[in-house]
Amino acid sequence: MNILNLLKVAINSLTKNKFRSFLTMLGIIIGVASVIAMMAIGQGSKQSIEEQISTLGTNLLFIRPATQTRGGVKMGAGSAKFLTVADANAIKRESEFVSAVSPMVRGGGQAVSIYDNWPTNIYGVDIDYFSIKNWELKDGRLFTNKEIKSSQKLCLLGNTVVEKLFGEAYNPIGESIRYNKIPFKIIGILKAKGESNFGQDQDDIIIAPYTTVQKRILAITHVHSIYVSATSSDVSQKASIEIEELLRRRHKILPSDESDFKIRTQEEIMTRLTSTSDILTALLSAIAGISLLVGGIGIMNIMYVSVTERTREIGLRMAVGGKGLDILLQFLIESTLLSVIGGIIGILLGIGVSKFVSNFMSWPVHITMDSIILSFIFCTVIGIFFGWYPARKAASLNPIDALRYE
Amino acid sequence: MSHNIIKIENLVKNYDLGDLTVHALRGIDFNIEKGEFVAIMGPSGSGKSTLLNILGCLDNATSGNYFLDDVDVKKLTKDQLATLRNEKIGFVFQSYNLLARTTALENVELPLFYNSSVSAKERRERAVAALETVGLSDRMYHFSNQLSGGQQQRVAIARSLVNDPVIILADEPTGNLDTRTSYDIMDVFQKLNSKGITIGLVTHESDIAQFTSRNVTFRDGRIKSEIIVENIKNASEALAQMPVEVDY
């Protein structure tokens, strides 16, 4: 039989048994769609965790004083006065893997506007801090180097502070607040960041020049910590070592002694956070694997049964002159058509379900090409094989045995 | 001497069922000449269907020779047997074996699909002609499940005709039908036979065998008797004599 005739016979056979064809395809559709949707939902969650981690800052290194012991009494972390603005400047000047450096001092107290009051932290920082911590302006401006040098009483407010002191949708730029009775002029508002991974409201913050906070609020000359941004995430480890050496030299620490400061890279912080998303990835792979297995077994069963059920038809076709090869090719074409069409519908359905989940349940989803290719190839190959295998078995029978098959 | 369409010599067929061997055919010598209408008769288990399946090249003999239209069937491969069935044999089954959800015309076309020398146009023309021969030209586009048993068997006969075979083999073609419809089917066979088509038919009903020209009776895998039918009954006359039943 020529191939055109075979194609005609195969298509005829599929269209004449629409319900059977549909049911057979359903196994493949569900198999492909479920894998794609599962992977999309999982990948989405993973990505959103990673995005949240990145709001912590760009290639961040965080330097704070080590805990110290005074006369046997252990003091709290950050209580030591070892870090200075000069240290921060030295890092900026001398380290080659560093793109931005900012000292940070932090004070607690009460902020008061003409309408309301609110307890919050004030952060004294350098301009680089905004880029290091990925802060963006919603409105207004940052302070300038000149304003920092002259300890101007200027501040930027986080979204939560604006809401608490002025109410929502109020633009307080140009107005003043008092922080611990000291007046600050508002020059900018920060774009909201939301909660951090630890559930902390990152927008409950007032930012001012470090000089102003040091002199006017805390009356100190040291800094509480230094924020550093490495030029890229690849070199953050190198930057960490470099800064360690630099500060030990500056602090005149003997090689046998421990450092009086600690450096933590963002990677260390991330390692802890990503362990969550790693578990998620493992879970996902397991789900995808099981979906594929279950889908595969479903396809296997339905294909096997629907072809085995047609053993008598195969017997008849052989009785009227169909050769083994004719029968095999017909069933191969049929199962290939079913599998490929089912696979394509499955891909569309999988994408549709993912979109539905993201639109109506507002879950983060991310459809990956990997999941589409993997599930499509896996399901179609199983579909084709189990459409072909029972047909081969039937075609190898004597026509009369195939005809008598119950 | 007339030409033997079928010639078998000392044909043996054993079924091996583990410890037990069933001797279905115990050495048969048998011929069918061109233009004959032979009824193969016998009780269940006598080997008549086994013989027909071997004649139709649907099953292999254990030993012995079989020549179909002077071709030594024993020497053929599976694919050559398929081609032989396609070109020389028309088979009619007791249970019709039509393709479901397929029109009468497409069912009849089926054997020609496996013959690449027949074009799509010729295939359609020959199928229409075969259906006209069995008197079903008004049912060509009916699906097989929309036809009565007798009509389905006529479609099956048309399908066996369409490849212009040297012999039509029918395995209890009236086994699932009532008497009136059975006579109707025998009428179709007689008319085909009168056009010179050779027919071999298996039946266990003696009244059906009366419409054929020779009755061969089997018993326990051997030929018990062979009778040339003197007064061949005419199926259309028999039909006319039957009391008209009330159709509900």
Mutation site, B49, B73, B101, interface A, largest A CB count within 10 A:
B101
In angstroms, what separates the C-alpha of A299 from chain B's closest C-alpha?
Answer: 24
- Do the beta carbons of residue A299 and residue A381 sit within 8 Å? no
Taking the CB of residue A256, how many other CB atoms lie within 10 A of it? 5
Chain B interface, mutation test: which of A320, A330, A334, most B Cβ atoms within 10 Å?
A: A320
Distance between CA atoms of A397 and A404, rounded to whole angstroms?
11
- Last residue of one domain, picked from the residues A259, A289, A313: A259
- B144: CATH: 3.40.50.300
Instruction: State whether A30 and A121 are in the same domain.
Output: no
Mark out chain A residues that contact chain B at CB-CB < 8 A: 1-2, 5, 9, 12, 16-17, 312-313, 316-326, 398-400, 403
Could you report the predicted ipTM of this complex, rounded to two decimals?
A: 0.92
Q: Are residues A93 and A195 in the same domain?
A: yes
Structural domain contains residue A14: yes
Domain that residue A380 falls in: 3-52+273-403
Is residue A74 in a domain? no
What is residue A274's DSSP assignment? H
Domain stops at, among A214, A234, A259: A259
Q: Give pLDDT tens digits along chain A (406 positions).
A: 678 888 888 888 888 888 888 888 888 888 889 888 888 888 888 788 777 766 666 578 888 887 766 666 666 555 566 788 888 888 888 888 888 899 999 988 899 988 888 999 999 999 989 888 888 888 889 889 899 899 899 999 998 999 888 887 788 888 899 998 899 999 999 988 877 766 778 889 999 999 999 998 888 888 999 999 888 777 878 888 888 888 888 888 888 888 888 888 776 766 766 677 678 778 877 877 887 788 788 878 877 887 888 888 999 999 999 998 888 888 888 888 889 999 999 999 999 999 998 888 888 888 889 889 988 998 889 888 888 888 888 888 888 888 888 7
Residues A112 and A233 in one domain: yes
CB contact under 8 A, A399 and B99: no
Residue A60 lies in a domain: no
Q: Give B164-217 pLDDT, tens digit per residue.
A: 999 999 999 998 899 999 999 999 999 999 999 999 999 989 999 999 999 999
Looking at the fold, whether A235 and A312 belong to one and the same domain comes out as: no
3-class state of residue B89 by DSSP: strand
What residue has token string 């091996």? Answer: B16
Residue A62 domain-assigned (yes or no): no
Q: Establish if A268 belongs to a structural domain.
A: no
From B81, B133, B139, select the one nearest B106 (Cα to Cα). Answer: B139
Q: Quick one: pLDDT at residue B92?
A: 95
Asked if residue A129 and residue A242 are part of one domain, the reply reads: yes
Domain end among A203, A236, A259? A259
> How many other β-carbons are positioned within 10 Å of the β-carbon of residue B3?
12
pLDDT score recorded for residue A58: 59
Question: Chain B residue closest to A17 (CA)?
Answer: B101
Residues A181 and A210 in one domain: yes
* Domain total of chain A: 2
Q: With contacts defined as CB-CB under 8 Å, which chain B residues touch A1?
A: 113-114, 116
Same domain, A253 and A331: no
Give the residue from B139, B211, B144, B200 showing the smallest Cα distance to B172: B200
CB B222 within 8 A of CB B27: yes
Q: What letter would DSSP give residue A213? A: I
Which whole-number Å values give the CA distances from B122 to A5, A276, B112, in the listed order? 14, 71, 9
Residue A71 lies in a domain: no
pLDDT band at B248 (very low <50, low <70, confident <90, very high): low
Give me the domain span that covers residue B156.
35-47+78-240
Q: What is the pLDDT of residue A197?
A: 61
Residue A47's Cβ-side half-sphere holds a number of Cα atoms within 13 Å equal to 12
In a domain, A64, yes or no: no
CA distance B240 to B104: 27
Same domain, A310 and A378: yes
Residue A70 falls within a domain, yes or no? Answer: no
Residues A238 and A284 in one domain: no
Measure Cα distances from B228 to A322, B37, B212, B216, B231 in Å.
36, 10, 9, 9, 9
Query: Residue B5 pLDDT > 60, yes or no?
Result: yes
Number of domains chain B contains: 1
Q: Does B79 sit within 8 Å of A323, measured CB to CB? A: yes
Same domain? For A99 and A24 the reply is: no
DSSP-assigned letters across all residues of A171-210? --TT-EEEETTEEEEEEEEEPP--B-TTS-BTTSEEEEEH
Cβ pair A318:B82 closer than 8 A:
yes
Asked whether the beta carbons of residue A16 and residue B114 sit closer than 8 angstroms, the reply is no
